[in-house]
Amino acid sequence: MPTVKVRNLKNKEIGEVQLSDAVFDAPFNEPLIHAAVRNFMANARQGSSATKTRGDVSGSGRKLWKQKGTGRARIASLRSPLWKGGGNVHGPQPRDWSYNMPKKMRRGALRSALSERVREGNLIVVEGWSLDKPKTKDFVASLATLGLEGKTLIVDSFDNENLILSARNLQRAKVVNSLGLNIYDLLYHEKLVLSQAAIEELEQLLGPKEDKSAALDDASAEKVEAASRKGTAAKPKRASKPKKEAA
């Protein structure tokens, strides 16, 4: 179980926190992370690029000369792709590039990336990021105190409005909550800063889920045992009498 030291905004160690093995000690899976990044970038594409076909460009639809007898090539319209100012052939058209990726694969990629940040030593845990007022200068000073000079990703609660307002004008830092954490931000930013509340939320979101079927079986077994103790167990049905044969 990995252990990380907890710091305050003055960069003083105030304790330690034990991280979950399932979330922060997962093996590095590069193909899974690559697939998750491709899925994220594909879903972020606008897909709005387009070209004009011969039906979209301006121009007359009149036939310029008769089909036969002129010695020239036949022509139907000025809007043909063969003519200057004509339409485009097989150009890009608006489309949806997004596709679904299984939830277990997305969560597995996040666990692998988080664990790699821990192994690299680029994970910093802070007790809480409390600012008296929304001021970018104070936020930059706290980053310098913690030794965070490069691209930094901070995961905290969105209830911390002063932190969000102070960091929104800074290009090298980004603030998200546990639900807004994605694989692209994890790889793009060099340092990852988590609050203690964010660690608990991530362990709940990405940790192993309980087997519902096993829980239901245990609950039903307990109900049967309780019913048998009280003597209210279901009694077997009486066998029906055989019908008399007609004489």
Integer Cα distance of 62 and 57 in angstroms: 14
95-106: burial string, b at 16+ Cβ within 10 Å, e else: eeeeeebeeeeb
pTM of the model as a whole: 0.73
Range of the domain at 163: 3-41+98-206
Predicted pLDDT at 169: 86
Asked whether residue 177 is domain-assigned, the answer is yes
How many domains, in total, are found in the chain?
1
Predicted pLDDT at 45: 92
Predicted pLDDT at 114: 93
Asked whether residue 160 is domain-assigned, the answer is yes
Asked whether residue 185 is domain-assigned, the answer is yes
Q: Show the 3-state SS of the chain.
A: CCEEEEECCCCCEEEEEECCHHHHCCCCCHHHHHHHHHHHHHHCCCCCCCCCCCCCCCCCCCCCCCCCCCCCCCCCCCCCCCCCCCCCCCCCCCCCCCCCCCHHHHHHHHHHHHHHHHHHCCEEEECCCCCCCCCHHHHHHHHHHCCCCCCEEEECCCCCHHHHHHHCCCCCEEEECCCCCCHHHHHHCCEEEEEHHHHHHHHHHHCCCCCHHHHHHHHHHHHHHHHHHHCCCCCCCCCCCCCCCCC
Integer Cα distance of 244 and 152 in angstroms: 88
Note down pLDDT in tens along the chain; length 247 residues: 788 888 888 888 888 888 888 999 899 999 999 999 999 999 999 999 999 998 889 887 788 889 999 999 988 888 888 888 889 999 999 999 999 999 999 999 999 999 999 998 899 999 888 888 888 898 899 889 888 888 999 998 777 888 888 888 888 899 998 888 999 999 999 999 998 888 888 988 888 876 545 444 555 656 656 655 655 444 555 555 555 555 4
CATH number of the domain that residue 188 is part of = 3.40.1370.10
Asked whether residue 184 is domain-assigned, the answer is yes
Asked whether residue 230 is domain-assigned, the answer is no
Predicted pLDDT at 28: 92
Integer Cα distance of 118 and 204 in angstroms: 18
Contacts of residue 90, Cβ cutoff 8 Å, sequence gap at least 6: none
Predicted pLDDT at 247: 45
Asked whether residue 175 is domain-assigned, the answer is yes
Asked whether residue 180 is domain-assigned, the answer is yes
Asked whether residue 131 is domain-assigned, the answer is yes
